[in-house]
Structure 1
Amino acid sequence: MALKEIRLDAEVRTEFGKGAARRIRRDHKIPAVLYGHGTEPVHLTLPGHESMLALKHANAILTLNFDGKQELALAKDVQRDAIKPVIEHIDLVIVKRGEKVTVDVGVHVEGEAAPETNVVVENSSLTVEADVIAIPESFTVSVEGLEAGSQVLAKDVELPEGVSLVSDEELLVVNVSQQISAEELEEELAEAEDEAGIEKDESEDEAAEASEGDSEDEGDKA
């Protein structure tokens, strides 16, 4: 399924610097810059809530209304606050209808692999080339019934018509391996600890057994 276009009403801004950016964010808006296709950069202010909702979708295509005109744009860089759920700044690149763009699209895994297997997503996205108004929202990979030893490579992922793979065809996307038992896991951990020279602390059961042994020895001596 392709992403929907999202319309946003923007304002051209003439104030710059950290102070201006803070004032914009206090008004629950987001500073942004729009560039590309040989045009001069345009500094904009975007509505905060609507923009945050739009950018929950990766590769969201935005139709920006400002200064009596419209521009189609793709978010190239989104700077987020490290602590608060706030977008600090957005870099937007102008795109045109019919233009091909290179983007990263997420991979969604569905289905149940064979019993006693582990499914590991080695790469959660693929780089593809697609028409700007037909960028897929995600790719679906089914692991239904796959046995241990099965692998899904980038070339195995079904792409919609008009979308071409840019990632390496042999890129490992999903790996299905045999599930190891608790005993095997414990053995592997013990081997790893021995190799690393880690001395394992005595378990409670082992300590109790040793204590009982010491008591019996003392009783024999008495």
Structure 2
Amino acid sequence: MSEKIKAEVRSEFGKGAARRIRREDKVPAVVYGHGNEPIHLTLPGHDTMMAIKHGGANALLELEIDGKPQLALTKQVQVDPIRRVIEHVDFVAVVKGEKVTVEVPVHLNGEAARETLVVTETATIQLEAEATHIPEFVEVDIEGAEAGTQIHASDLKLPQGSTLLLDEETLIVNVTAQISQEALDAELEEAEAEAGIEHEAPAEEAPAAEAAEGEADAEE
């Protein structure tokens, strides 16, 4: 479902105009697409933030522009890193029934078997979906998955009406055996030995090491 937002067409551009818009708790935005000239808009800050938060990365908004509705798909959102408020939004104009290409996040559901490590190899997947039926995410069930389990793009259960635009052999999730700390330490020591890395003896061991060397010299 699209969120309805009343938009104002703006004629002022540039950083100064954008700052003035933000001071009024509003958001500058642009709508591209369908061979038309870009439409520069001003949107209500709170309503826009809530609509995008609710809709996710591919939020679909119904913008009221000069009294006419326009479906707009969110493509890029600029957020202030300190204040965490929206600074600018780019939209793509769409029409009902139109197919669009989107990036959808992968969500893991459940817990794998004990002593396993679950790695999400591909965090987002590319889909083609109807503009008004874009899934928020694609769920991957890993409940009880044993070490050695691999889930590829071809294994994904896509929402109805969605088409995968990704190589079916793409690895999405990889479940491996958990490596113990002892095994990690052994691997590190082996790698350092191959690289010729030597560590100095700890301070408390140094006198003993020197004494041992002294004894060896005396024997010689």
Per the TM alignment, residue 96 of structure 1 is displaced from its structure 2 partner at its CA by: 0.4
| d(CA) in 2 for partners of 1:27, 1:61 | 24
1:108-147 equivalent positions in 2, closer than 5 A: 108-147=107-146
Could you report, residue by residue, the CA deviation over 1:34-58 in whole angstroms, capped at 9, with x for unpaired residues? 1211222211001112212222211
| d(CA) in 2 for partners of 1:216, 1:41 | 80
Per the TM alignment, residue 214 of structure 1 is displaced from its structure 2 partner at its CA by: 6.8
| d(CA) in 2 for partners of 1:216, 1:195 | 26
- Asked if residue 12 in structure 1 is aligned to residue 9 in structure 2, the reply is yes
- Asked if residue 55 in structure 1 is aligned to residue 52 in structure 2, the reply is yes
| d(CA) in 1 for partners of 2:44, 2:149 | 47
The residue that corresponds to 2:32 in the other structure is 35
- Size of the aligned set, in residue pairs, is 213
Per the TM alignment, residue 216 of structure 1 is displaced from its structure 2 partner at its CA by: 10
191-200 or 54-63: which moved more? 191-200
The residue that corresponds to 1:187 in the other structure is 186
| d(CA) in 1 for partners of 2:134, 2:211 | 74
| d(CA) in 1 for partners of 2:194, 2:82 | 40
- Asked if residue 198 in structure 1 is aligned to residue 213 in structure 2, the reply is no
1:73-152 equivalent positions in 2, closer than 5 A: 73-152=72-151
- TM-score normalised by length of structure 1: 0.87
| d(CA) in 2 for partners of 1:102, 1:198 | 50
SS of residue paired to 1:39: coil
Closer/same/farther in 2, CA of residues 183 and 45 from structure 1, 3 Å limit: same
- Asked if residue 21 in structure 1 is aligned to residue 18 in structure 2, the reply is yes
- C-alpha root-mean-square deviation of aligned residues, in Å? 2.2
The residue that corresponds to 2:204 in the other structure is 208
SS of residue paired to 2:101: strand
Closer/same/farther in 2, CA of residues 179 and 33 from structure 1, 3 Å limit: same
Unaligned runs of 5+ in 1: none
1:144-163 equivalent positions in 2, closer than 5 A: 144-163=143-162
Amino acid at match of 1:162: G
Amino acid at match of 2:50: L
Amino acid at match of 1:172: L
Closer/same/farther in 2, CA of residues 197 and 79 from structure 1, 3 Å limit: farther
SS of residue paired to 1:10: strand
Counting aligned pairs with the same residue, the percent is 57
Amino acid at match of 1:20: A
- TM-score normalised by length of structure 2: 0.88
